[in-house]
Structure 1
Amino acid sequence: MSRVTRALGFSWPALVGLAALAAPRVVLHDLGVIEEGTFVNGLFVFLPPLCWIAAVLWRRPPRPFLTVVVIGAIYAVFLAAGHQLLWEQSFGARPPALGGNLADLDPAAQERIIRTAAVGSSLVTGTIVGVITGAVAAALCRLVPRGR
C-alpha cells in the first residue's frame, strides 16, 4: 500500500474516478444540454459531492478532509480542461472579450487572457468544492458512527 493510499484511504485511480463523477456536468453545461437553475442541473451539481461524502463515510480514510480536498482538486483539473476543450462549442462565434481600457487589445491576446483567467477560476472553484465537501465529510465522519 502506498503512502498516498494510506493517508487518503483511496488509490489514485479511485480518487480520479470519484472526481470524474463531476465531469459530465462540465460537458453538458458547456454544450448547452443542461441549463443552470434546473432540477437536472442540480442533480449534476450535488450528486457527485454527495458520492464523495458517501465514499469517505464508507471507507473512513484517516484524513477525510484532505481526501475530499484532493478529489476536489482533481475535479478542478477536469473542470479547467473541460472548459478549455469545449471553449469553441460553448461560445461559438461570440467568444468573450475584454472591455474598458483593454477592449482595443489584440483579440488573440484577449483570448489568452480570458482563457488563463478561466483556468484559474476553474481550479479555484473545483478546489473550493472539495474544501466545502471535505469539511462536511470530516464532520460527518466524527458524528456518524462506523458501520459494522
Structure 2
Amino acid sequence: MGRITGDRTVDIAAPAETCFAIAADLERAPAWQSALQDVEVHERDAEGRPAVATLISDAKVRTITARWRLTYAEFTAITWEQERGDVKAMRGSWTFDESGGLTRATYALEVDPGRMLGLLLRGPGMVDKVRDYLLEGAADGLKRQAESA
C-alpha cells in the first residue's frame, strides 16, 4: 500500500490569527476535530504551544496513536511530523492565508500506513473514505469552531 495524501481547503469568516490560535490549541482540538480523540502534550515551545504531543485518532478502520513534533510560523502555518506511532510515517500541516475578510485554511496530510494498517485499508474505496474522513473532519471542524468564536 502506498502513501495516503490529500488536503482540504475551506474559507473561514474569521481572521487568520483566530484560526491559527484554534488549530494551535491541540488540547482543545478533540472538541471540534471529529477524528481526534485525545491529546497529551509532552513539551511546549517558548510561546507555550505544544512542541511534542501524543495524539490518539480514530482513523475509521482503527484507532491510531502518534507522537508529533510541531513547528509554528506565526499566524500562517503549523506543521508536524510523526516521531513514532502506529503508522510508518505521518506529516501534515495547516496553512492560513487571510484576504478580503476571509481566511483560507488548508489542512494537508501525508501518511504511510505501513504494512499492518495497509492491510486494513484494502477494499473498494477504503483509502478514499479514510482520507476524506480525516481531512474533512479537521477542515470543516476548524471552520465551525472559528466562525462560532
TM-score (norm 1): 0.32
The structure with the largest strand share of the pair is: 2
Rg larger in structure: 1
The structure with the largest helix share of the pair is: 1
TM-score (norm 2): 0.32
